[in-house]
Amino acid sequence: MSETKRLVLDILKPHKPSLLEFTKKLSELDSVDSVNGILYELDEKVANIKITMVGEKLDFKKIKEQIQRLGGSVHSIDEAVCGKRIVDEVKTPQG
Protein backbone atom coordinates (compact mmCIF):
# COMPACT_ATOMS: atom_id res chain seq x y z
CA MET A 1 0.00 0.00 0.00
CA SER A 2 1.23 3.48 -0.85
CA GLU A 3 1.98 5.69 2.17
CA THR A 4 1.48 9.45 2.47
CA LYS A 5 4.89 11.14 2.84
CA ARG A 6 4.03 14.86 2.64
CA LEU A 7 0.90 16.97 3.04
CA VAL A 8 0.44 20.68 2.49
CA LEU A 9 -2.72 21.92 4.19
CA ASP A 10 -4.53 25.25 4.05
CA ILE A 11 -5.91 25.77 7.57
CA LEU A 12 -8.12 28.35 9.23
CA LYS A 13 -7.36 28.70 12.95
CA PRO A 14 -8.14 31.05 15.82
CA HIS A 15 -5.38 33.39 17.03
CA LYS A 16 -4.77 31.08 19.99
CA PRO A 17 -2.94 28.79 20.06
CA SER A 18 -0.11 30.67 18.36
CA LEU A 19 1.38 29.40 15.10
CA LEU A 20 4.38 28.12 17.07
CA GLU A 21 2.22 26.17 19.53
CA PHE A 22 -0.03 24.91 16.72
CA THR A 23 2.89 23.49 14.73
CA LYS A 24 4.50 22.00 17.86
CA LYS A 25 1.29 20.15 18.73
CA LEU A 26 1.04 18.77 15.20
CA SER A 27 4.69 17.67 15.27
CA GLU A 28 3.98 15.60 18.40
CA LEU A 29 1.75 13.19 16.46
CA ASP A 30 3.33 9.74 16.01
CA SER A 31 3.18 9.74 12.21
CA VAL A 32 4.70 13.22 11.82
CA ASP A 33 8.47 13.78 11.50
CA SER A 34 8.42 17.53 10.85
CA VAL A 35 6.03 20.47 10.43
CA ASN A 36 6.50 23.83 8.72
CA GLY A 37 3.88 26.51 9.41
CA ILE A 38 3.48 29.77 7.52
CA LEU A 39 1.04 32.57 8.32
CA TYR A 40 -0.29 34.05 5.10
CA GLU A 41 -3.36 35.99 6.21
CA LEU A 42 -4.41 37.47 9.54
CA ASP A 43 -7.96 38.60 10.23
CA GLU A 44 -9.46 40.18 13.32
CA LYS A 45 -10.50 36.79 14.75
CA VAL A 46 -8.73 34.10 12.71
CA ALA A 47 -5.52 33.26 10.89
CA ASN A 48 -5.02 31.44 7.60
CA ILE A 49 -1.95 29.26 7.71
CA LYS A 50 -0.21 26.86 5.37
CA ILE A 51 1.12 23.72 7.06
CA THR A 52 3.61 21.38 5.39
CA MET A 53 4.04 18.02 7.12
CA VAL A 54 6.41 15.16 6.34
CA GLY A 55 6.62 11.65 7.73
CA GLU A 56 6.95 8.03 6.63
CA LYS A 57 3.23 7.23 7.11
CA LEU A 58 1.25 10.41 7.70
CA ASP A 59 -2.14 9.62 9.23
CA PHE A 60 -4.48 12.28 7.81
CA LYS A 61 -7.38 11.24 10.05
CA LYS A 62 -5.32 11.80 13.22
CA ILE A 63 -3.82 15.00 11.81
CA LYS A 64 -7.28 16.39 11.02
CA GLU A 65 -8.54 15.42 14.51
CA GLN A 66 -5.60 17.25 16.14
CA ILE A 67 -6.23 20.34 14.02
CA GLN A 68 -9.87 20.33 15.13
CA ARG A 69 -8.86 19.88 18.79
CA LEU A 70 -6.70 22.99 18.40
CA GLY A 71 -9.72 24.93 17.07
CA GLY A 72 -8.71 24.83 13.41
CA SER A 73 -10.31 23.51 10.24
CA VAL A 74 -8.77 22.18 7.04
CA HIS A 75 -9.80 24.35 4.08
CA SER A 76 -7.97 22.25 1.51
CA ILE A 77 -5.23 19.76 0.84
CA ASP A 78 -2.94 21.76 -1.44
CA GLU A 79 -0.36 19.02 -1.99
CA ALA A 80 -0.14 15.31 -1.27
CA VAL A 81 2.92 13.16 -1.89
CA CYS A 82 2.46 9.40 -1.67
CA GLY A 83 4.63 6.41 -2.49
CA LYS A 84 8.07 5.11 -1.56
CA ARG A 85 9.78 8.52 -1.60
CA ILE A 86 9.03 12.20 -1.93
CA VAL A 87 8.94 13.63 -5.44
CA ASP A 88 9.37 17.39 -5.60
CA GLU A 89 7.47 19.46 -8.13
CA VAL A 90 9.52 20.31 -11.19
CA LYS A 91 9.33 23.79 -12.73
CA THR A 92 8.46 23.77 -16.41
CA PRO A 93 8.33 26.57 -19.01
CA GLN A 94 4.52 26.37 -18.91
CA GLY A 95 4.40 27.37 -15.26
- Coil, strand, or helix at residue 54? strand
Lowest mean pLDDT among 38-42, 66-70, 76-80, 83-87: 83-87
Domain ranges of the chain: 4-82
Name the strand (E) or helix (H) holding 82: strand 73-82
For 26-37, the pLDDT digits (tens) are 999 999 999 999
Element (H, E) at 53: strand 46-54
For residues 62-86, average pLDDT: 95
Average pLDDT, the chain: 94
CA distance 68 to 81: 22
* CATH architecture under which domain 4-82 falls: 2-Layer Sandwich (3.30)
Q: Would you say residue 84 has pLDDT above 70?
A: yes
pLDDT bin (cut points 50, 70, 90) of residue 94 is confident
